[in-house]
Amino acid sequence: MEKRSIVSIQQPEYLRLGGMTIAQALPNQEIEQADPFLLLHHAGPVMLKPEFANFYVGPHPHRGFEPITFLFQGGVRHKDSLGNDSSIQAPGVQWITASRGIIHSEQSSDAFKENGGNFELIQLWVNLPAAQKMIPPAYQKAETEELPLIEFNNPNAGKLYLVSGEQQGKKGPINSLTGIRSYMGFFEANETLDLNLNPDSTTLVYVLEGHITIGDQEVNNKELAILDQKGSQLNLESLKHSRVLILEGNPLEEEVVSWGPYVMNTQREIMEAMRDYNMGKMGFLAD
Ligand code: MN
Protein backbone atom coordinates (compact mmCIF):
# COMPACT_ATOMS: atom_id res chain seq x y z
CA MET A 1 0.00 0.00 0.00
CA GLU A 2 1.28 3.39 -0.94
CA LYS A 3 2.25 5.59 1.97
CA ARG A 4 1.43 9.27 2.29
CA SER A 5 4.27 11.71 2.79
CA ILE A 6 4.36 15.26 4.13
CA VAL A 7 3.99 18.05 1.56
CA SER A 8 4.28 20.96 3.99
CA ILE A 9 4.72 21.74 7.67
CA GLN A 10 2.83 24.81 8.88
CA GLN A 11 4.18 26.89 11.78
CA PRO A 12 1.68 28.56 14.12
CA GLU A 13 0.95 32.23 14.62
CA TYR A 14 0.03 33.35 18.14
CA LEU A 15 -2.94 35.33 19.45
CA ARG A 16 -4.80 36.02 22.70
CA LEU A 17 -8.32 34.66 23.18
CA GLY A 18 -10.45 34.01 26.26
CA GLY A 19 -7.56 35.06 28.51
CA MET A 20 -5.20 32.49 26.97
CA THR A 21 -2.41 32.42 24.40
CA ILE A 22 -3.49 30.46 21.34
CA ALA A 23 -1.28 28.87 18.68
CA GLN A 24 -3.03 29.16 15.33
CA ALA A 25 -1.74 26.69 12.73
CA LEU A 26 -4.66 27.33 10.36
CA PRO A 27 -5.27 29.67 8.64
CA ASN A 28 -1.90 31.42 8.33
CA GLN A 29 -0.10 33.80 5.98
CA GLU A 30 0.57 30.99 3.50
CA ILE A 31 -2.72 29.09 3.39
CA GLU A 32 -6.37 30.07 3.89
CA GLN A 33 -7.52 26.51 4.58
CA ALA A 34 -6.69 22.82 4.18
CA ASP A 35 -10.06 22.03 2.60
CA PRO A 36 -12.36 21.10 4.43
CA PHE A 37 -10.39 22.20 7.55
CA LEU A 38 -10.62 25.96 8.05
CA LEU A 39 -9.12 26.84 11.42
CA LEU A 40 -7.02 25.10 14.06
CA HIS A 41 -6.47 26.79 17.43
CA HIS A 42 -4.37 25.20 20.17
CA ALA A 43 -4.82 26.49 23.75
CA GLY A 44 -2.26 25.38 26.35
CA PRO A 45 -0.76 23.23 27.63
CA VAL A 46 -0.85 25.28 30.78
CA MET A 47 -0.92 24.40 34.48
CA LEU A 48 -3.56 26.51 36.23
CA LYS A 49 -3.98 26.98 39.96
CA PRO A 50 -7.63 26.77 41.09
CA GLU A 51 -8.01 30.55 41.45
CA PHE A 52 -6.86 31.02 37.83
CA ALA A 53 -8.61 28.01 36.27
CA ASN A 54 -11.49 30.11 34.93
CA PHE A 55 -11.16 30.04 31.15
CA TYR A 56 -14.26 31.68 29.61
CA VAL A 57 -15.46 32.45 26.09
CA GLY A 58 -18.87 34.12 26.29
CA PRO A 59 -21.95 33.60 24.06
CA HIS A 60 -21.28 34.06 20.33
CA PRO A 61 -22.89 32.78 17.11
CA HIS A 62 -21.71 30.51 14.30
CA ARG A 63 -23.14 29.64 10.88
CA GLY A 64 -22.09 27.46 7.97
CA PHE A 65 -19.58 25.04 9.51
CA GLU A 66 -18.75 22.82 12.50
CA PRO A 67 -16.78 24.22 15.46
CA ILE A 68 -15.28 21.31 17.40
CA THR A 69 -13.43 21.15 20.72
CA PHE A 70 -10.96 18.32 21.24
CA LEU A 71 -10.18 18.48 24.96
CA PHE A 72 -6.74 16.95 25.70
CA GLN A 73 -6.34 18.04 29.34
CA GLY A 74 -8.69 19.57 31.91
CA GLY A 75 -12.47 20.05 31.95
CA VAL A 76 -14.81 22.19 29.83
CA ARG A 77 -18.45 23.22 30.12
CA HIS A 78 -20.48 23.95 26.98
CA LYS A 79 -23.80 25.84 26.81
CA ASP A 80 -25.79 26.62 23.68
CA SER A 81 -28.99 28.13 22.30
CA LEU A 82 -30.46 24.63 21.76
CA GLY A 83 -30.57 24.31 25.56
CA ASN A 84 -27.54 22.06 25.97
CA ASP A 85 -25.45 22.53 29.11
CA SER A 86 -22.83 19.81 29.44
CA SER A 87 -19.38 19.32 30.87
CA ILE A 88 -16.68 16.94 29.71
CA GLN A 89 -13.37 15.79 31.13
CA ALA A 90 -10.29 15.12 29.01
CA PRO A 91 -9.94 13.29 26.76
CA GLY A 92 -13.31 14.24 25.32
CA VAL A 93 -14.97 16.05 22.44
CA GLN A 94 -17.69 18.64 21.89
CA TRP A 95 -18.81 18.65 18.26
CA ILE A 96 -21.16 21.44 17.16
CA THR A 97 -22.89 21.40 13.80
CA ALA A 98 -23.64 25.13 13.63
CA SER A 99 -25.15 24.93 10.11
CA ARG A 100 -27.91 27.62 9.95
CA GLY A 101 -27.06 29.05 13.34
CA ILE A 102 -26.23 28.40 16.97
CA ILE A 103 -25.05 30.53 19.89
CA HIS A 104 -22.71 28.93 22.40
CA SER A 105 -20.31 29.63 25.25
CA GLU A 106 -17.37 27.65 26.60
CA GLN A 107 -15.75 27.79 30.00
CA SER A 108 -13.89 25.71 32.57
CA SER A 109 -16.01 22.96 34.08
CA ASP A 110 -16.98 23.40 37.74
CA ALA A 111 -14.65 20.54 38.73
CA PHE A 112 -11.75 22.11 36.87
CA LYS A 113 -12.39 25.56 38.42
CA GLU A 114 -12.36 23.96 41.84
CA ASN A 115 -9.26 21.80 41.43
CA GLY A 116 -7.20 23.47 38.69
CA GLY A 117 -4.59 21.40 36.88
CA ASN A 118 -3.31 20.98 33.34
CA PHE A 119 -5.42 22.48 30.59
CA GLU A 120 -5.16 21.97 26.84
CA LEU A 121 -7.59 21.93 23.95
CA ILE A 122 -7.87 22.18 20.20
CA GLN A 123 -10.60 24.23 18.58
CA LEU A 124 -11.14 23.06 15.00
CA TRP A 125 -13.45 24.53 12.36
CA VAL A 126 -14.60 22.06 9.72
CA ASN A 127 -16.41 23.44 6.70
CA LEU A 128 -19.82 22.22 5.54
CA PRO A 129 -20.86 22.02 1.88
CA ALA A 130 -23.45 24.52 0.58
CA ALA A 131 -26.16 21.85 0.82
CA GLN A 132 -25.60 21.50 4.60
CA LYS A 133 -24.93 25.11 5.61
CA MET A 134 -28.59 25.84 6.35
CA ILE A 135 -29.80 22.58 7.93
CA PRO A 136 -30.88 22.63 11.62
CA PRO A 137 -28.01 22.95 14.13
CA ALA A 138 -26.96 20.04 16.34
CA TYR A 139 -24.63 19.24 19.24
CA GLN A 140 -22.82 15.99 20.01
CA LYS A 141 -20.37 15.14 22.74
CA ALA A 142 -18.13 12.18 23.42
CA GLU A 143 -16.60 11.29 26.75
CA THR A 144 -13.47 9.23 27.37
CA GLU A 145 -15.19 5.90 27.96
CA GLU A 146 -17.13 6.20 24.67
CA LEU A 147 -14.01 6.59 22.52
CA PRO A 148 -12.71 3.32 20.99
CA LEU A 149 -8.97 2.70 21.10
CA ILE A 150 -7.03 2.12 17.88
CA GLU A 151 -4.26 -0.44 18.18
CA PHE A 152 -0.59 0.28 17.60
CA ASN A 153 1.77 -2.10 15.79
CA ASN A 154 3.75 -2.50 19.01
CA PRO A 155 1.37 -2.12 21.94
CA ASN A 156 2.87 -0.02 24.72
CA ALA A 157 1.26 2.40 27.16
CA GLY A 158 0.14 4.97 24.58
CA LYS A 159 -3.44 5.53 23.44
CA LEU A 160 -5.10 6.60 20.22
CA TYR A 161 -8.80 7.42 20.56
CA LEU A 162 -11.10 7.26 17.54
CA VAL A 163 -13.53 10.21 17.66
CA SER A 164 -15.35 10.03 14.32
CA GLY A 165 -15.33 7.70 11.33
CA GLU A 166 -14.21 4.07 11.08
CA GLN A 167 -10.84 2.36 11.43
CA GLN A 168 -9.77 -1.20 12.29
CA GLY A 169 -13.44 -2.22 12.26
CA LYS A 170 -14.22 0.27 15.03
CA LYS A 171 -16.49 3.31 14.82
CA GLY A 172 -16.08 6.63 16.61
CA PRO A 173 -19.08 7.88 18.64
CA ILE A 174 -19.37 11.21 16.80
CA ASN A 175 -21.43 11.12 13.61
CA SER A 176 -19.76 13.42 11.06
CA LEU A 177 -22.09 14.65 8.30
CA THR A 178 -19.18 14.94 5.88
CA GLY A 179 -17.30 11.75 6.74
CA ILE A 180 -14.53 13.34 8.80
CA ARG A 181 -12.24 10.82 10.49
CA SER A 182 -10.57 12.17 13.63
CA TYR A 183 -8.32 10.80 16.35
CA MET A 184 -6.78 12.05 19.61
CA GLY A 185 -3.37 10.50 20.28
CA PHE A 186 -1.44 10.20 23.53
CA PHE A 187 1.70 8.34 22.42
CA GLU A 188 4.57 7.01 24.44
CA ALA A 189 8.07 6.83 22.88
CA ASN A 190 8.74 4.48 19.95
CA GLU A 191 5.19 3.57 19.11
CA THR A 192 4.31 2.97 15.49
CA LEU A 193 0.93 3.19 13.87
CA ASP A 194 -0.62 2.46 10.46
CA LEU A 195 -3.94 4.04 9.50
CA ASN A 196 -5.92 3.35 6.35
CA LEU A 197 -6.86 6.52 4.49
CA ASN A 198 -9.49 7.33 1.90
CA PRO A 199 -8.24 8.08 -1.62
CA ASP A 200 -7.73 11.81 -2.35
CA SER A 201 -8.56 12.86 1.24
CA THR A 202 -7.02 15.85 3.00
CA THR A 203 -4.98 14.44 5.89
CA LEU A 204 -3.53 16.58 8.68
CA VAL A 205 -1.35 15.65 11.64
CA TYR A 206 -0.98 18.29 14.37
CA VAL A 207 1.55 17.73 17.17
CA LEU A 208 0.40 19.45 20.37
CA GLU A 209 3.56 18.36 22.13
CA GLY A 210 6.26 15.85 21.36
CA HIS A 211 8.16 14.55 18.39
CA ILE A 212 6.92 12.22 15.66
CA THR A 213 8.04 11.10 12.21
CA ILE A 214 6.04 10.41 9.07
CA GLY A 215 8.27 8.79 6.45
CA ASP A 216 11.65 10.43 6.92
CA GLN A 217 10.22 13.77 8.04
CA GLU A 218 9.95 15.02 11.61
CA VAL A 219 7.07 16.97 13.14
CA ASN A 220 7.54 18.83 16.43
CA ASN A 221 5.61 20.91 18.98
CA LYS A 222 2.80 23.04 17.52
CA GLU A 223 3.57 22.05 13.94
CA LEU A 224 0.87 21.02 11.48
CA ALA A 225 1.87 18.46 8.85
CA ILE A 226 -0.17 18.44 5.66
CA LEU A 227 0.13 15.16 3.75
CA ASP A 228 -0.01 14.56 0.03
CA GLN A 229 -3.30 13.24 -1.37
CA LYS A 230 -1.92 10.08 -2.95
CA GLY A 231 -1.65 6.76 -1.22
CA SER A 232 -3.93 4.92 1.14
CA GLN A 233 -1.87 4.64 4.29
CA LEU A 234 -0.44 6.83 7.03
CA ASN A 235 2.58 5.47 8.91
CA LEU A 236 3.55 7.37 12.01
CA GLU A 237 6.20 6.85 14.67
CA SER A 238 6.52 8.69 17.99
CA LEU A 239 10.07 9.43 19.13
CA LYS A 240 8.98 10.47 22.62
CA HIS A 241 5.82 11.10 24.62
CA SER A 242 3.58 13.01 22.20
CA ARG A 243 0.04 14.37 22.02
CA VAL A 244 -1.28 14.40 18.47
CA LEU A 245 -4.50 15.25 16.60
CA ILE A 246 -5.02 13.33 13.34
CA LEU A 247 -7.67 14.53 10.87
CA GLU A 248 -8.92 13.23 7.56
CA GLY A 249 -11.65 14.75 5.38
CA ASN A 250 -12.79 15.02 1.80
CA PRO A 251 -12.16 18.39 0.10
CA LEU A 252 -15.39 20.30 -0.66
CA GLU A 253 -13.88 22.36 -3.48
CA GLU A 254 -16.39 25.17 -2.97
CA GLU A 255 -15.99 28.92 -2.71
CA VAL A 256 -15.24 30.01 0.90
CA VAL A 257 -16.34 33.45 2.08
CA SER A 258 -15.82 33.94 5.79
CA TRP A 259 -16.35 36.80 8.18
CA GLY A 260 -15.81 36.42 11.93
CA PRO A 261 -17.95 33.51 13.14
CA TYR A 262 -19.63 32.82 9.77
CA VAL A 263 -18.33 30.70 6.87
CA MET A 264 -20.48 30.74 3.74
CA ASN A 265 -20.11 30.54 -0.05
CA THR A 266 -20.94 34.16 -1.00
CA GLN A 267 -20.69 37.67 0.44
CA ARG A 268 -24.47 37.94 0.23
CA GLU A 269 -24.84 34.92 2.52
CA ILE A 270 -22.49 36.57 5.04
CA MET A 271 -24.72 39.66 5.06
CA GLU A 272 -27.76 37.40 5.59
CA ALA A 273 -26.00 35.68 8.49
CA MET A 274 -25.32 39.03 10.20
CA ARG A 275 -28.92 40.10 9.67
CA ASP A 276 -30.35 36.77 10.89
CA TYR A 277 -28.20 36.89 14.03
CA ASN A 278 -29.37 40.45 14.78
CA MET A 279 -32.99 39.35 14.25
CA GLY A 280 -32.55 36.52 16.76
CA LYS A 281 -32.89 33.75 14.17
CA MET A 282 -29.88 31.88 15.57
CA GLY A 283 -31.56 31.60 18.96
CA PHE A 284 -30.64 33.02 22.36
CA LEU A 285 -28.24 32.14 25.13
CA ALA A 286 -28.14 33.99 28.43
CA ASP A 287 -24.94 33.05 30.24
MN1 MN B 1 -17.36 29.24 19.08
**Nearest Cα to Cα of residue 208 among 4, 39, 72, 78:** 72
Query: ∠ CA 264-268-272 to the nearest 5 degrees?
Result: 80
- pLDDT of 19 > 80? The answer is no
Q: How far does residue 165's CA lie from ligand 1's centre (Å)?
A: 23
Q: How far does residue 173's CA lie from ligand 1's centre (Å)?
A: 21
**Nearest Cα to Cα of residue 227 among 2, 6, 26:** 6
Q: How far does residue 271's CA lie from ligand 1's centre (Å)?
A: 19
Q: How far does residue 259's CA lie from ligand 1's centre (Å)?
A: 13
Residue type, 273: A
DSSP string, 57-73: EEEEEEBSEEEEEEEEE
Q: Which is it for the CA torsion 78, 120, 92, 229, positive or negative?
A: positive
Q: Does domain 6-278 have CATH number 3.30.830.10?
A: no
Q: How far does residue 82's CA lie from ligand 1's centre (Å)?
A: 14
Q: How far does residue 280's CA lie from ligand 1's centre (Å)?
A: 17
- pLDDT of 24 > 80? The answer is yes
Q: What is the pLDDT of residues 207-244, one digit of tens each?
A: 999 999 999 999 999 999 999 999 999 999 999 999 99
Return the SS3 of 267: helix
Q: How far does residue 266's CA lie from ligand 1's centre (Å)?
A: 21
pTM of the model: 0.97
Residue 287, pLDDT score: 84
Q: How big is the chain by its Cα radius of gyration, in Å?
A: 18
Q: What is the pLDDT of residues 165-180, one digit of tens each?
A: 999 999 999 999 999 9
Q: How far does residue 176's CA lie from ligand 1's centre (Å)?
A: 18
Instruction: Say if residue 36 is preceded by a cis peptide, omega within 30 of 0.
Output: yes
**Nearest Cα to Cα of residue 70 among 32, 100, 40:** 40
Q: How far does residue 67's CA lie from ligand 1's centre (Å)?
A: 6
